[in-house]
């Protein structure tokens, strides 16, 4: 198949060489309108066929933007931290109405309540024998400076 094209340097159509250039020494970039001389069909050089056609910009995606999650309730978060800490101290834990009761056999028992309305933690504990598991220190550490820790004298003051 013989290829020809219009050479802008010569100002006329010319048969092209193997590099798709004008036989008079003008490069392929001076040639346009390439065609097959046998069929008259337009032909595109292979290196131009490899370039992708320009892609139209896609329509913007209108996905719904999720609402930001509400901030967690500090009292709920603190209750969870206290429960985790009591479990790590190997205490048996029960919960009733957000009040934790924990014990270690007959040796130790405590009750902890987080009062989110007043920003305080109420703690009652009794050590009958053995080592103190450190619940008081753990609760104070978790409370930090944002929560007041009150030690109750009667268990009913915490659970009630």
User: What does the pLDDT look like over 14-42, one tens digit per residue?
Assistant: 887 877 788 888 887 788 887 888 888 88
- In angstroms, the CA 3 to CA 12 distance is 14
Share of residues in the chain with pLDDT > 70 (%):
90
| Whether 113 contacts 159, CB under 8 Å | yes
Same-domain status, 80 and 136: yes
Q: Which tokens is 55 given?
A: 């892609």
Same-domain status, 139 and 89: yes
Same-domain status, 80 and 147: yes
- In angstroms, the CA 160 to CA 149 distance is 17
Same-domain status, 80 and 155: yes
Residue 93 lies in a domain: yes
**CB atoms near residue 52 (< 10 Å):** 5
| Model pLDDT, residue 55 | 63
Please tell me the total count of domains within the chain.
2
Strand partners, 151: 123
Same-domain status, 22 and 84: no
Same-domain status, 40 and 89: no
Same-domain status, 38 and 86: no
Tell me the per-residue pLDDT of 48-102, one tens digit each, with 9 for 90 and over: 766 555 666 666 767 787 888 888 888 888 899 999 999 999 999 999 988 999 9
Residue 45 lies in a domain: yes
- In angstroms, the CA 25 to CA 30 distance is 10
**CB atoms near residue 74 (< 10 Å):** 13
The residue assigned the tokens 């003051």 is 157
Residue 126 lies in a domain: yes
Residue 80 lies in a domain: yes
- CB-count exposure of residue 3 (10 Å: 0-12, 13-18, 19+): middle
Residue 60 lies in a domain: no
Residue 120 lies in a domain: yes
What is the mean predicted confidence (pLDDT) over 100-120?
A: 91
| Model pLDDT, residue 104 | 92
Residue 104 lies in a domain: yes
Confidence of residue 9 (pLDDT cuts 50, 70, 90): confident
Q: Which tokens is 43 given?
A: 């032909």
Residue 94 lies in a domain: yes
| 1 has a pLDDT exceeding 70 | no
23 lies in which domain range? 3-49
| Model pLDDT, residue 31 | 82
pTM value surpassing 0.85: no
Q: Which tokens is 142 given?
A: 């978790």
Same-domain status, 38 and 91: no
Same-domain status, 26 and 87: no
| 129 has a pLDDT exceeding 60 | yes
Same-domain status, 44 and 115: no
């Amino acid at each position: 198949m013989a290829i020809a094209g219009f050479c802008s340097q010569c100002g006329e159509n010319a048969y092209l060489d193997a590099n798709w250039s004008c036989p008079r020494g003008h490069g392929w970039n001076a040639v346009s309108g390439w065609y097959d001389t046998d069929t008259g069909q337009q032909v595109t050089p292979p290196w131009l066929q490899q370039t992708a056609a320009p892609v139209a910009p896609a329509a913007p995606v209108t996905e719904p933007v999720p609402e930001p999650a509400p901030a967690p309730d500090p009292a709920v978060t603190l209750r969870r931290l206290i429960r985790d800490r009591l479990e790590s101290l190997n205490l048996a834990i029960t919960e009733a109405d957000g009040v934790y009761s924990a014990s270690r056999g007959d040796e130790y028992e405590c009750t902890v309540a987080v009062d989110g309305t007043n920003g305080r933690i109420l703690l009652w504990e009794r050590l009958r024998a053995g080592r103190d598991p450190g619940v008081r220190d753990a609760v104070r550490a978790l409370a930090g400076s944002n929560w007041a820790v009150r030690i109750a004298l009667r268990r009913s003051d915490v659970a009630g």
